[in-house]
Amino acid sequence: MSTQVWFITGSSRGFGRELATAALEAGDSVVATARRPEQLHELVKQYGGRVLPVALDVTEPAAATAAVEAAVKRFGRLDVVVNNAGYANVSPIETTSEEDFRKQFETNFWGVYNVSKAALPVLRKQGHGIVMQFSSVGGRVGGTAGLGSYQAAKFAVDGLTRVLQTETAPFGIKYLVVEPGGFATDWAGASMTIPDIAPEYDQTVGEFARILASGRASAGDPKRAGEILVRVVKHPAMPTHLLLGAGAVKMAQQYSQQQIAEAAAWEQVSSSANFDQPYPVDLPAGRA
């Protein structure tokens, strides 16, 4: 298939906007969704009928279904479904309100669930399609102070996608989990709220907030990211996971090496839980 039809959530800015632009520059068509579709006027003005702007709040299942139906009615099919819409607020888990924690999860996880589920019947009947889930290197490595809800949701997105990959393998559907590091998008801008941080968490959450404010965590170019992703989904050997940014690669490699080393150090202890293995065994030597 020479050209593709994309369905992209959160197309008004950031990765979504750059990805939509890159796909259009490649000659593809884009169903660009946003809470406020009037923000997509420039895309329509520049690329005409190859852009279908659609209003979509990903937290509403019926809206996701309606958006997918509008896309198929206009273009006849979906080739690449991109779950990009998401945001984060920064605060310690202890002091984050349950309402805020749940609201972030509604967009960052349930939004992905809603759109993926709405698109699956179309992709299954077609016998092909790609679902691109925007996660984060934090969704692989985790542990960023202040991002409890956001990173929990990203881990959940990866888990959901791995199951989907197994369940829908006979239908020709492929999945790509995108794991960016820090990029120069609006992620840490107007869409992010950072309330006053309790003194007890200043050295952890407070320090992360200061890093965000300094811009030191925004080394990635979102325009390049969009262009890379368009090329990757057209590649015959598309990966299941793609790290974006040099910092993300380094973090992921270090984390994987630590996981392997820890699993090896505790291998005998772990294996001893089986009936047919020696028991008890000595715990590894270590210092307190």
Instruction: Catalogue the active-site residues.
Output: 135, 150, 154
Residue count (the chain) = 288
Asked if residue 68 lies in contact with residue 58, where contact means CB atoms within 8 angstroms, the answer is no
SS3 78: coil
Cα separation, 148 vs 94, whole angstroms: 10
173-180 β-sheet, strand order: 51-55, 29-34, 5-8, 80-83, 129-134, 173-180, 241-244
Angle between helix 98-105 and helix 148-167 axes, rounded to 10 deg: 30
Quickly count helices (H) and strands (E) in the chain: 10, 7
State CA 9 to chain mean position distance.
11
Please give the helix or strand (H or E) that residue 250 lies within, else none.
helix 246-265
The Cα–Cα gap between 195 and 255 comes to 30
- Return the ∠ at Cα 224 (arms to 46 and 155), rounded to 5°: 110
135 sits in which H/E element: none
Q: Which neighbouring-strand residues pair with 134?
A: 178
